[in-house]
């Protein structure tokens, strides 16, 4: 049997990058996937392509910064699929600049999506998991939450906050049969890193014991493991998937 056979998964930011790779892996392992994204064009394109391959998936346009939007979407997924087993809080943005140059707007935008958005999605979905006494909640942190990074005070604050929330929720929801874990990716080849200068990316590869950047599927496989029955006694942890960068 496939590892996520007939499980119902919500993946935020599922139209691009790591979220899209995670949706692909979950579908391959038997899950039915609800894609939550603000990008309607790419979200519908991805869902249509997967449906054409025989997978069961549906796109929902969701603004994760709005609690009402996530609650409406969660109710729709529950109605459409009958249950919600897995939530991957993957959606995220960057607005990088030094403290001196960072605007209040860029600070707030990153906090709203990367931290408050995760709270909103979990707030909307956790009641369904609690009622059925089963669930997997996975939060996308980052390697920079563990050691900091120049010009990313907003991003680091949000991603470090996610590790703290993960531990709290693991304590709160364990008695409900729900595990809550975080994944801390290193530098992964996605659109988010396209703006990083090539020479800096090269230096990162050289500093990484594995001597390469990660691929989205590397993170997708970590999510797959933590969403599976094999990880049923793992909760409250943050799994670094970074090629050894923080060693």
87: which 2 tokens? 């939530």
89: which 2 tokens? 């809080």
DSSP string for residues in 61-109: E--TT-HHHHHHHHHHHHHHHS---EEEE---------TTT--HHHHHH
Residue 195 confidence (pLDDT) = 67
**Any bridge partners for residue 177, and if so which?**
none
Residue 205 confidence (pLDDT) = 84
Residue 247 confidence (pLDDT) = 82
pLDDT in tens, the chain (247 residues): 899 999 999 999 999 999 999 999 999 999 999 999 999 999 999 999 999 999 999 999 999 999 999 999 999 999 999 999 999 999 999 999 999 999 999 999 999 999 999 999 999 999 999 999 999 999 999 999 999 989 999 999 999 999 999 999 999 999 999 999 999 999 898 876 666 777 877 887 888 899 988 999 999 999 999 999 999 999 999 999 999 988 8
Q: How far apart are the first and last CA of the chain?
A: 36
> Span 8-241: which CATH code?
3.40.50.720
- Domain ranges for the chain: 8-241
CA–chain centroid gap for 83, Å, is: 20
Say which residue the tokens 């729709």 belong to.
Answer: 76
Q: Which of 128, 155, 173, 223 is catalytic?
A: 155
User: Environment class of residue 62 by beta-carbon count within 10 Å: exposed (0-12), middle (13-18) or buried (19+)?
Assistant: buried
* Exposure of 65 in the CB half-sphere (CA atoms within 13 A): 10
8 A C-beta contact, residue 61 and residue 33: no
Q: Strand 135-140's sheet: what is its strand order?
A: 57-61, 32-37, 8-12, 86-89, 135-140, 178-185, 238-241
Global confidence as pTM: 0.95
Check if 155 is active-site.
Answer: yes
User: Of 86, 77, 153, 171, nearest to 115 (Cα)?
Assistant: 153
């Amino acid at each position: 049997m496939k590892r996520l056979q007939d499980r119902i998964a919500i993946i935020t930011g599922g139209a691009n990058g790591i979220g899209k790779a995670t949706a692909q892996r979950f579908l391959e392992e038997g899950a039915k996937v609800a894609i939550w994204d603000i990008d309607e064009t790419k979200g519908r394109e991805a869902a249509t392509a997967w449906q054409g391959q025989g997978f069961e998936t549906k796109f929902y346009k969701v603004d994760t910064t709005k609690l009402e939007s996530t609650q409406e979407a969660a109710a729709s997924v529950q109605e459409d699929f009958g249950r919600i087993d897995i939530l991957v809080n993957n959606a995220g943005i960057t607005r990088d600049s030094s403290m001196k140059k960072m605007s209040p707007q860029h600070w707030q935008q990153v906090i709203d999506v990367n931290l408050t958005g995760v709270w909103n999605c979990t707030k909307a979905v956790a009641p369904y998991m609690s009622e059925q006494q089963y669930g997997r909640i996975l939060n996308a942190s980052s390697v920079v939450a563990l050691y900091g990074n120049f010009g990313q005070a907003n991003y680091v604050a949000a991603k470090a906050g996610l590790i703290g929330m993960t531990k709290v929720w693991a304590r709160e929801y364990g008695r409900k049969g729900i595990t809550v874990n975080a994944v801390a990716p290193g530098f992964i080849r996605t659109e988010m890193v396209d703006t990083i200068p090539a020479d800096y990316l090269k230096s990162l590869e050289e500093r990484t014991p594995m001597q390469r950047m990660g691929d989205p599927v590397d993170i997708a496989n970590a999510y797959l493991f933590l969403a599976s029955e094999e990880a049923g006694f793992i909760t409250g942890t943050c799994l670094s998937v970074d090629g050894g960068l923080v060693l």
